[in-house]
Amino acid sequence: MALGTRNVTAPFSYDKIVCPQFSASDIANFCQPLHDKAAKLDEQDKKNRLLRLVQLIDLTSLGGDDTPAKIRDLVDKAVNPLPADVAAKLETKDVHCAAVCLYPARVCDAVSYIKEKYADHVGHLHISSVAGGFPSGQYKLVTRLQEATLAIADGADELDVVINRAAALQGDWETVYNELSQMRAVCSETVHLKTILATGELKNVENIYKASMSAMLAGADFIKTSTGKEVINATLQSAWVMCSAIKDFHKSTGIQVGFKPAGGIRSVDEALSYMLLVEELLGKEWICPELFRIGASSLLNNVVKLLA
């Protein structure tokens, strides 16, 4: 899909991140029907959406027990997410996940394996690394920036970085912005920046909106709900707030920023609910790998079962 101008760092001011007056009942009324809508999709529409969903997944492995062999298995699954019989039944080919998402120490494993076994997928299957003190962000900025720099040097072409939640919870949005701006500078023009807000730790709607706007002003290409390590991960309510911020940012700048829900999304209807939310708030043009991803590890298996 041909997109407009890629996001760049813009000057920060507190006036640019003022949160509108959101009604809790309005958010609930919008979100509550989405799961039912997903469950009631007609069979063909659901299959088409599931096939699209496969191509929007950042297939993730973020375990302390990750090994080179485990990463090779992850890459195999991301390149060939559909068993041969399912692909034949659907009369489709060249279907692959959007990216693999892994720790910085495992980036080299993925890069070398893709070059060795899947040379035709170089540049098509993205390699996304969580970096910058994932998942807590409770590290000195210099080490977070160095970790991001090293992940890129090893071959990551996307970074999933966490915001400074301590600064966010103190209302110090300029620090949140300044740190992310430096991350964006590390990425330059070749590596995409996905900023993780950890919405479950931000306490309220206003903080989620301000975090979203601060990240986008800093140059984030995507804003992402969660690390998957919080007690509360992705919710439709937090997604609504984030997508509303994306809509406002697009209206004021003309720049399209992507959205990535992640953390605990396992059921197909739940994943489809996020897809429907994005469609209804931002438009169908957002349903592409450049603007919408889902971070997941077990979701793919459930999608494939329904496609079989």
Question: Which tokens in the block code for residue 292?
Answer: 């919408």
* Other beta carbons less than 10 A from residue 43's beta carbon: 7
Question: Which tokens in the block code for residue 215?
Answer: 């990240």
Catalytic status, residue 210: no
Question: Which residues lie across from 61 on neighbouring strands?
Answer: 102
Q: Which of 16, 194, 210, 224 is catalytic?
A: 224
CA 31 to chain CA centroid, Å, is: 20
Q: Which of 93, 260, 284, 305 is catalytic?
A: 260
Catalytic status, residue 40: no
Q: Which residues are catalytic?
A: 224, 260
